[in-house]
A and B are shown apart, each in its own frame.
Chain A
């Protein structure tokens, strides 16, 4: 892997500094660095080759990517709980996923172009050069599919897809998972629904379930 490519791989995935050092070492030794090291999950050689190829390619140009960054932070901004979509690296996820799922490519690229054409017609500027006010006025016209005017339908279709990918990218990031309060993915002793939650919904375990289910010795 070329240094440029491995740096790109690093930028595209949330990885620890330990892996970063590993990648640098690999460069010096000129041995093969594979996405296994960048992703940390078991990969078949066939998958390594494909992932590596996708990571080495670039789909969105700079202007498109800058537009995506503005839009995804409109969709998921920073609030008191967590950062924004770009803070969570969602733009990098979107760059990867369109290469992995080419069916999204035309919808996103065409949608970005559609957006710029709307702005050029109205303000003689591309979307990112418009004022925030102008940007939000346009977003308001495409963000509510049930209310969208027929001539803005293409924008709504584009925005639905971008909203979906932004939400997935954000809430599957480390920041997003923490925001959501997902409490699993670690060794656990499942002992049923917490008592206060059962009470909240007026439910309880019957005697038989309590007697026959896996028991945990709370004194251990």
Chain B
């Protein structure tokens, strides 16, 4: 077959690359406004109502729910992808760390995340003004607040009104009551003056429209919801957008580069279709990148032309820089008072019913930014790993009959130990804000590595600074004290300076942002305050790339709000015939 590039004859108003939170929201808003839109998705179609792993039993998985390279978070997890993907490598500068999680499927990583839906607060947009580090955003909370409200209404989020200045309340659905271990955590945290409040998750505790059902409390949001009771971009944004008849979705389309004309304007994109490995081009008046922070940066850097010799939208040389992920550290253990507990259905919603927002003043601490705390525990459904390491428990605590045994063993007494200790585990993890540094970046691999499609791959260069290490140390100390106060015994996670206090490698928390950051100064930023490229007026980036700083909040709700805001701006440009 001769090698030729096939041009799609459709003329689109907008071509969106990626169907996750940012791309899904742009598709939803732009098609509602009547624009003709095409979404290119690098993975297959996915519909949680049809691609079902929800309500399956552990024995229905050959590996009892254990993770694989394809589904590192377990065999039932909805997200296709992981830190390593066959034929799609990335590299790292020696001596630095970064693990890049990708999910190639309709809805992207919104199929996986914990539905934690936190607004950034006023301070989160103005970090530099508070502590001199990083940069302020060119926008503030008041600019984004109306869009957070709209996202709350459209998608739904539960929570409680708390009036905490930097944790803005939303338009909340009622939260579920705390589970047993969550009540115990709340009581213990009170002794340390640590607030424990209802979590804020985009899960429908009440029905909000006819297209989506209410949560039925199976605790399996990560498997995708057959009644669309939680948020994923595929079910809540792409699906309704297709009903407008203004949307085409091309799946298994791996975008190679953004095409530009001689004046430097974007004219569309070229992609390789994974199904036939042929090259295609799509023409559009506006190109919107939402491929994820690093993938969009890669696309820009790979889109070199006469008018954009340093890569598209990169006259500043800032594309790929200021990459930053959330910090993370965790510890876990058991609550002996819960041994032999009464059985009941404790599943609840997917994830925690309570959490701790950042509660301290960094001016009194030796690190600059905060973290929130996530909790887990209880009688979750057993899966691969159940009962591992019993010798560390049954040699430490008396059994049901009060006998202190030697750890390990076998037989009927051991069998009963598994029952006795089940449901007593408890744990917590910090998710904190890292400082965005110019020296942490991704770039096109200078050694010429390409992926299986011949697309040059990224090389990462990321090192935690002392700010993040000190923050992890604080997490360690706080968590250990909390575990002690609730009467728990720590069984894993205690870490000292030799392992940066358990601080996870960059990329592991999957909140990476900052690679195409926004700003008013075209020399120091990639996009303006409407996510529009300084160098190319009909090019927008609406994933986590434009974040100036990450905050100690999960980024999804802010990606959604900013994508909606950018989409309104795009609609306005069409109305004014600027594109």
Q: Which residues of A contact B (CB under 8 A)?
A: 12-14, 35, 39-42, 44, 46-47, 50-51, 54-55, 74-77, 79, 93, 96-97, 100-101, 139, 143-147, 156, 159-160, 163-164, 167-169, 171-174, 176-177, 179-194, 196-198, 200-201, 203, 205, 209, 212-215
**Chain B contact residues, majority secondary structure:** loop
How distant is the Cα of A101 from the Cα of B345 in the complex, in angstroms?
A: 32
Q: Which residues of B contact A (CB under 8 A)?
A: 44, 50-53, 55-66, 68, 70-71, 75-76, 80, 158, 160, 174-180, 183-184, 187, 198, 205-206, 216-219, 337, 341-349, 379-391, 395, 406-412, 414-416, 418-419, 422
Q: With A76-B415, A93-B64 as known contacts, state yes or no: A46 contacts B70, CB within 8 Å.
A: yes
Q: Which residues of A contact B55 (CB under 8 A)?
A: 185-186
Tell me the nearest residue of chain B to A84, going by C-beta: B415
From A40, A143, A184, A197, B410 is in contact (CB under 8 Å) with: A143
How distant is the Cα of A209 from the Cα of B182 in the complex, in angstroms?
A: 13
How distant is the Cα of A144 from the Cα of B392 in the complex, in angstroms?
A: 11
Q: Which residues of B contact A176 (CB under 8 A)?
A: 382
Q: Which residues of B contact A77 (CB under 8 A)?
A: 411-412, 415
User: What is the total of A-B residue contacts with beta carbons within 8 Å?
Assistant: 226
Tell me the nearest residue of chain B to A44, going by C-beta: B80
Q: Could you write out 24 A-B pairs with CB less than 8 Å apart?
A: A42-B53, A44-B70, A75-B414, A96-B63, A139-B410, A146-B395, A156-B408, A163-B390, A167-B386, A167-B387, A172-B384, A172-B386, A177-B58, A179-B419, A181-B343, A183-B343, A184-B379, A184-B380, A185-B218, A187-B218, A191-B177, A209-B177, A212-B174, A214-B158
Contact of B343 with A182 in the complex, beta carbons under 8 Å: yes
How distant is the Cα of A196 from the Cα of B342 in the complex, in angstroms?
A: 10
Q: Which residues of B contact A168 (CB under 8 A)?
A: 64, 382, 384-388
Q: Which residues of B contact A147 (CB under 8 A)?
A: 406
Contact of A213 with B175 in the complex, beta carbons under 8 Å: yes
Q: With A168-B385, A185-B57 as known contacts, state yes or no: A79 contacts B415, CB within 8 Å.
A: yes
Min distance, Cβ A62 to any Cβ of chain B, angstroms: 22
Tell me the nearest residue of chain A to B383, going by C-beta: A172
Q: With A190-B176, A201-B180, A213-B175 as known contacts, state yes or no: A100 contacts B62, CB within 8 Å.
A: yes
Contact of A172 with B389 in the complex, beta carbons under 8 Å: no
Q: Which residues of B contact A146 (CB under 8 A)?
A: 391, 395, 406-408
Q: Which residues of B contact A193 (CB under 8 A)?
A: 177-180, 183, 344
How distant is the Cα of A203 from the Cα of B186 in the complex, in angstroms?
A: 11
Q: Which residues of A contact B174 (CB under 8 A)?
A: 212-215
How distant is the Cα of A39 from the Cα of B63 in the complex, in angstroms?
A: 10
Contact of B53 with A183 in the complex, beta carbons under 8 Å: no
Q: Among B174, B198, B348, B411, which residue has the most Cβ atoms of chain A within 10 A? A: B411
How distant is the Cα of A46 from the Cα of B86 in the complex, in angstroms?
A: 11
From B59, B183, B349, B383, A190 is in contact (CB under 8 Å) with: B349
Nearest 6 A/B pairs, CB to CB: A167-B387, A192-B177, A172-B58, A181-B343, A184-B347, A187-B216
Kindly list 9 other residue pairs between chains A and B, CB separation below 8 angstroms, not including A75-B411, A100-B63.
Answer: A74-B410, A101-B66, A180-B382, A181-B343, A184-B380, A185-B218, A188-B217, A193-B178, A193-B179
Tell me the nearest residue of chain A to B51, going by C-beta: A42
Tell me the nearest residue of chain A to B406, going by C-beta: A144
Min distance, Cβ A209 to any Cβ of chain B, angstroms: 6
Tell me the nearest residue of chain B to A164, going by C-beta: B388
Q: Which residues of B contact A93 (CB under 8 A)?
A: 64
From A13, A47, A164, B389 is in contact (CB under 8 Å) with: A164
